[in-house]
Structure 1
Amino acid sequence: MIVYEKDDAYVLIAQHDHARISGDLASAWRGELFGGEALRDEMTRAAYEHDASWLELDRVPLWNDAAGSPYTFRDYPGNIRFVFYERALDDLQRSSEYAALLGSILYTTLAERIRNEDTVPFVEREFARQSAIIEKLGVDVKLLQTHAKALLLCDELSLFACMEAPGTNRSRYEWFAGGFAYWFGPPGQTTLAADWTDEHTIALAPYPLMREVETSIVYREVSKADVAKWGISEAYRRATPRKHGLLFRQAR
């Protein structure tokens, strides 16, 4: 679950809904980076499916007593989440080994950011999965690295859209205040900037997409009074899902 706090409420965004935004971005990525339409389809699928592991975990949000707020994807117990990560990758691998390979690379990249006693065995198992798929498919490793970096950027741009209230100044983001690592521009162009221009529009510079991307943030706003009355799980169940329109475009 992605969570940010307001004065009187928590805003909760399910991980799979965030992944849908990253998939919408991936589907619009410039074609010359892919090496063929088949690989474009696999990368796009990896983007849409990369958080399928959270479908069950996010169905009933949990309360973090230590933080005094709902658990988020950042602090959710690793001994639980990594079981679901591996199960989702196993399921995806049965239908698309390349998409599972990309999903595994994304998971290990993110897991190493929060390295602890739970991440080490997970990362080691996923490195073994990655090596086996690369060998089996005879993967072009350089092209794979390009796809993995594009997937990571789509994931991070979607997180940018969801981690704070729409319209938040980039300087207030813990992870993204300095922009995003960018590997697709000319020499010297190593950072992409993303900024809200209004509450519905994010402008990117440089722009790695073929077109503007219209999508939406699906969320539930759960009042703190309801949490105190019913608990986070029941308060979340009672909250009405809402949709916030979102546009990614090139900075002017």
Structure 2
Amino acid sequence: MIVREHEKEFILIEQHNHGHLAKDIMSKFSKAMFPEDRWRESILTAIANHDIGWSSFDRQPFWNDEKLAPYRFTDFPLLPKIVLYKQGIDCVETMDPYAAMLCSFHYEQFIENNEEREAKQFVEQEHKRRERLASQVEGFNHILFEKHYALLQLGDNFSLYCCVNDPGVTKEHEHIFFQNGIPSPSVFPELPSGRIPIHFADEHSIRVEHFPFTEGFSVEYIQRVIRKDTIAEVGLQAVYDQANEERITLHFC
């Protein structure tokens, strides 16, 4: 779950909704860096579904007793997170083997240095999965795979920028992840080195410097707003189930 906290409420965005937003954003990406070739649909499938493993978990959000808040994707416990990682990759593999390879590599980056036994087992199993799938994907190319994974990363980060920040937030109050911009993959020399500058121009518009998209465009995501006092009265699940979905529209320019 993606969670923004205010004084009297939490704003919750399900991870899989964030994935669909990432796909919508990257479908507008520069054709020079993301061409209309045989790989494009597989990459978009990976981008849209890279967090599909969270779907069932996010429909029943977990309460963090220590922080008195819903668990965020950043502090969700390791062992159940590994379960949903694997579940998500398994699901993507039934759609598209190459997309599953991209998602497998994506999740591995989060825990590759973790010393827990389950984390090491996950990394080893995902290595074997990618080796198996690579032998099945005609024309698999390691250099291309690196570029395709960079596109997934960009989609993830552009979408996260939209979701973890309140619309119209000033630069100094942005989420710490993005106060210096969006990470810029080195495999694309067309992009600025290090970080891509980005900020809210107003409550509805996001301005991206060195604009890497084909044109200006609008996207939307779904959020739910839940009041803290109501959680105390009836519990997180009941409040979440009763909360209306709100559609937030943002324009990239």
Q: TM-score over 0.5 for the alignment?
A: yes
Q: Distance in 1 between matches of 2:159 and 2:112?
A: 20
Structure 1: gaps of 5 or more residues: none
User: Structure 2 counterpart of 1:64, which letter?
Assistant: N
Partner-residue secondary structure (3-state), 1:33: coil
For the Cα contact (< 8 Å) 1:24–1:213, is it kept in 2? no
Task: Measure how far apart 1:37 and its partner are.
Answer: 2.5
Deviates more, 1:116-125 or 1:149-158: 116-125
Q: Distance in 2 between matches of 1:8 and 1:187?
A: 40
Partner of 1:177: 179
Q: 2:235 aligns with which of 231, 235, 238?
A: 231
Partner of 2:69: 69
Verify: 1:189 aligned to 2:190, yes or no: no
Verify: 1:157 aligned to 2:158, yes or no: yes
Partner of 1:106: 106
Partner of 1:220: 224
User: Structure 2 counterpart of 1:10, which letter?
Assistant: F
For the Cα contact (< 8 Å) 2:167–2:203, is it kept in 1? yes
User: 1:1-12 residue pairs with structure 2 within 5 A?
Assistant: 1-12=1-12
For the Cα contact (< 8 Å) 2:171–2:179, is it kept in 1? yes
Task: Measure how far apart 1:35 and its partner are.
Answer: 5.8
User: Structure 1 counterpart of 2:140, which letter?
Assistant: V
Q: Distance in 1 between matches of 2:119 and 2:164?
A: 23
Q: Deviations over 1:78-133 (max 9, x none)?
A: 211221221221122123111111111221223458x4625333223222222322
Task: Measure how far apart 1:175 and its partner are.
Answer: 1.4
For the Cα contact (< 8 Å) 1:220–1:239, is it kept in 2? yes
Task: Measure how far apart 1:56 and its partner are.
Answer: 0.3
Q: Distance in 1 between matches of 2:220 and 2:119?
A: 32
Corresponding pairs, count: 248
Q: Deviations over 1:139-170 (max 9, x none)?
A: 11111101101110110111111112112234
Partner of 2:39: 39
Task: Measure how far apart 1:48 and its partner are.
Answer: 0.8
Q: Distance in 2 between matches of 1:9 and 1:42?
A: 38
RMSD, matched Cα: 1.9
Partner-residue secondary structure (3-state), 1:105: helix
Q: Distance in 2 between matches of 1:187 and 1:228?
A: 47
Partner-residue secondary structure (3-state), 1:211: coil
Task: Measure how far apart 1:64 and its partner are.
Answer: 0.4
Q: Distance in 2 between matches of 1:69 and 1:164?
A: 17
Q: Distance in 1 between matches of 2:15 and 2:59?
A: 10
Structure 2: gaps of 5 or more residues: none
Q: Distance in 2 between matches of 1:187 and 1:225?
A: 45
The percent identity for this pair of structures is: 29
For the Cα contact (< 8 Å) 1:3–1:10, is it kept in 2? yes
Partner of 1:248: 252
Verify: 1:17 aligned to 2:17, yes or no: yes
Q: Distance in 2 between matches of 1:110 and 1:200?
A: 31
Q: Distance in 2 between matches of 1:4 and 1:116?
A: 30
Q: Distance in 1 between matches of 2:64 and 2:133?
A: 37
Partner-residue secondary structure (3-state), 2:177: coil
Residues 87 and 205 from structure 1, CA distance in 2 versus in 1: closer, same or farther, beyond 3 angstroms?
same
Partner of 2:56: 56
Verify: 1:205 aligned to 2:209, yes or no: yes
